[in-house]
Amino acid sequence: MSSLERDTSLGNPSCELVTSTQRPILTPHLVGIRFLLCTSTVQFILSTVHIITILVQLIEGFVTTSGISQGSTRYFLDMGTGVHVTQEAAYVFNVRFSVFTLLLLRVFIYVSRRV
């Protein structure tokens, strides 16, 4: 019996070594890294959307309304524009997503240490 084959010498069939042809077992550490990578990518995209909408809102508020009397004030007080709604939605979703992600990560760490 080679060292890469199944080790049943201890009488425990669940105690086996990983052969070179088998896929590596996902450890809780690797799952946690993948989870953090995915969630941080989503948060980066949402933050980028938020910043882009802020820049669009500033350009629309100061450049396109420059010829109108109190145009920029009226524009920024109008909270129903599509850009403002998109900006606030991205911000709120990012905050709630980050809180939910941190909660899931804490639960995952707690459970994986108890196993």
Q: Could you give the C-alpha distances from 40 to 19, 37, 56, in angstroms and in order?
A: 33, 5, 24
Half-sphere exposure for 86 (CA within 13 Å, toward CB): 15
Q: Which of 15, 38, 35, 40 is nearest to 112 (CA)?
A: 35
- Across 8-12, 31-35, 69-73, 89-93, least confident range: 8-12
Is the residue at 102 inside a domain? yes
Q: How many domains are contained in the chain?
A: 1
Can you tell me whether residue 17 is helix, strand or coil? coil
pTM over 0.75: no
Is the residue at 3 inside a domain? no
Spell out the alpha helix ranges (H) of 3-114. 28-62, 71-77, 82-114
Q: Express each pLDDT in 49-94 by its tens digit.
A: 999 999 999 998 888 887 888 888 888 888 888 999 999 999 999 9
DSSP state of 63: T
Q: Are 75 and 81 in contact (CB under 8 A)?
A: yes
Q: Are 29 and 109 in contact (CB under 8 A)?
A: no
Is the residue at 2 inside a domain? no
pLDDT number for residue 57? 92
Is the residue at 17 inside a domain? no
For residue 104, the enclosing domain spans: 28-114
